[in-house]
Structures are given as C-alpha cells and as structure tokens.
Amino acid sequence: MISVLIKDKVDQFLIEELKKRKMIVRDHSNTPDTLLKEVKENEILIVRSATKVTKEVIDAAAQTGVLNLIIRAGVGMDNIELDYAQSKGIMVENTPEASSSAVAELALAHMLALARKVVFANLAMREEKWNKKQCQGIELSGKTLGIIGMGRIGQNLAHKASALGMKIIYSDIMGFKNINSTWEFVSVEEVLRKSDFVSLHIPSNQDGKFLIGESEFKKMKKSGFLINTARGNLVDENALIEALNKGEIAGAGIDVYCHEPCDNIKLVQHERISVTPHIGAATEEAQSRIGQQILQLIEEYRNKKESRGVADGRN
C-alpha cells in the first residue's frame, strides 16, 4: 500500500481521493521538525513552497530508500534540491499548468490597483478621508507591459493584458517565441527601459543574484511599475524602497518576498507598494486543478509500479 506524506496544505479533494484509492495519507503540515524521520517512512512526499526539501532531507530518505517520488504542488521547484534528489533515484514532479491563470490574474490585479491608486484610496476611506483629487490614476489601455519570462504564466498574463488594450513586449532566456505576432521580443534592458509595467515570471537565479537591483531600477521609466509574483529573491527589496523614495519608479506590486513571512516593514507599509502574502495560486479553482494534477501524477506512478511488479513476477 502506497503511503503519501503531505507536508503543506492541499485541497481536501486530493486527500479524500487518495484515501478512496486505498492509499495511506499522512498529513503532518504542522510538524516540520519531523520531516527527517517522515521521509524515511513514506513513498511519496507532497510539498508546496513552505517545506524545504534540502540535501539533508534527501540523505535521510536515502537511508531507507522508501521515498520514490516528490511532488511540488505548484509551478517552480526552488525549494527542492532537484538534481540531488534525482541523483539518489528519487523522481521529482510539479504541477506547472494548474496555477498559471491564478498567478496571471493576481499580477493584473496589482497592476490595476497601482494604476488606479486603489490601495491609497482604500486606506484613506477607512480613515474617513475623501481624497478624490489625489486618486487620479492612469488607464492600462495603451500602456506597455514588459514581461520577463514568457512561459505559461507570462503568456497567460499577456493574453489578459492584450484584451485590455496593452502593448506587449517580452524577454525570455529561450529567445523569441512564435506565439503572437503582436508581441515583441526584446532584451531585458529594453523591457526595463520601454515598459510602463514590468512583470517578472521566471525562477530564481542559480547564483543567488538579484535580477532587479539598483542599476535596473535606474533604467526603468520614472512612471513605471514593477510587478513580482514570481520569486522573492529576484528583487533587491532595499533597492526597491530606495528607488521608490528617490522617485526612480512610480510603484510596485509584490506577492513574494526574500523572507516569508515578510519581515521588511518598510516594504509592506510603503504607500506606493501594493502587497499580498504570497497568494498567487490561492484560488479555489487553482487549488482544485493542482489537486487533480497531483492525483494524476500519483496514479501514473502507481500504474508504473504495478506494471514493474507484474513484469518482475513473470521473471
């Protein structure tokens, strides 16, 4: 019988479906300190972004060889030592398609909030201030959206922004993508220089360096906005605050942080930053899709395992 260890919160549908399929489900999301012991006893490990699957965790799992599959319930796998796990014979999978629309919508929500000064207006209203004159904003239609990383989420955002009348330019490490004749492929520097909104949709840098720091902010339009719903360590948070205070850019929408929960008070309380607590994939629909994809991955794993068992039995 397959045992599945779930370390971070997942859709209840997944748990119920796994149990229906006669699998042992161990949900220890509130006991992170026991991970080194748990990976020795369970065949499948499911994590989101909170649980870090380090070399130490993988070495612990290798001691018994029980753990065969790690599934990241989400897009990236920055919190998993991917190559090291695979070198130990442990498969690693994720669910890249499931949350694309949800993350793209959140990026767009931050853009709209910044363009129409929703955060400023909301806080003023709560303080019984009718600051109508100070709330004049801009429209997204006719503005240029620069996307760094034209993968699933980047393309999803581009489609949504195009529908609002925005011009799309993009940069991608893989080069030009023949996906839409109206979207222009440019360099990262051109994205920074030409865009009214710059949205990041790439993994963390392998070398740990910031993608956007002091020099990059100086290249952006003074009226430009930075949107980061990708990875917290892509942006130098202190450089962002300095750029805002110096008027080098107009604002930012941030969902991910260098340290989570975010402890940078100057960042989260800045009047020209729209902040959310890493909720890119936090929609009912996205979590349901993630659950469905995880279930499919586990079923594929079980089918392969049973096929190998039958083949071994014939030998």
Q: How confident is the model at residue 251 (pLDDT cuts 50, 70, 90)?
A: very high
pLDDT above 70 for 31: no
Q: Judge: domain 100-275, CATH 3.40.50.720.
A: yes
Question: What pLDDT is attached to residue 32?
Answer: 57
Are the folds of 3-98+284-314 and 100-275 the same?
yes
pLDDT above 70 for 298: yes
CA gap 86, 288 in Å, rounded: 28
34-91: per-residue pLDDT in tens? Answer: 899 999 999 999 999 889 999 999 999 999 999 999 999 998 888 999 999 999 999 9
CA gap 148, 18 in Å, rounded: 38
Question: What pLDDT is attached to residue 312?
Answer: 60
Domain ranges of the chain: 3-98+284-314, 100-275
Q: Which helix (H) or strand (E) holds 72?
A: strand 69-72
Class at the top of the CATH hierarchy for domain 3-98+284-314: alpha beta
pLDDT above 70 for 28: no
Task: Find all residues with CB under 8 Å of 15, minimum gap 6, and list them.
Answer: 6, 25, 27
Active site residues: 231, 260, 278
Identify any residues that bridge with 26 across adjacent strands, giving them in sequence order: 5
Q: Find the mean pLDDT for residues 100-106.
A: 97
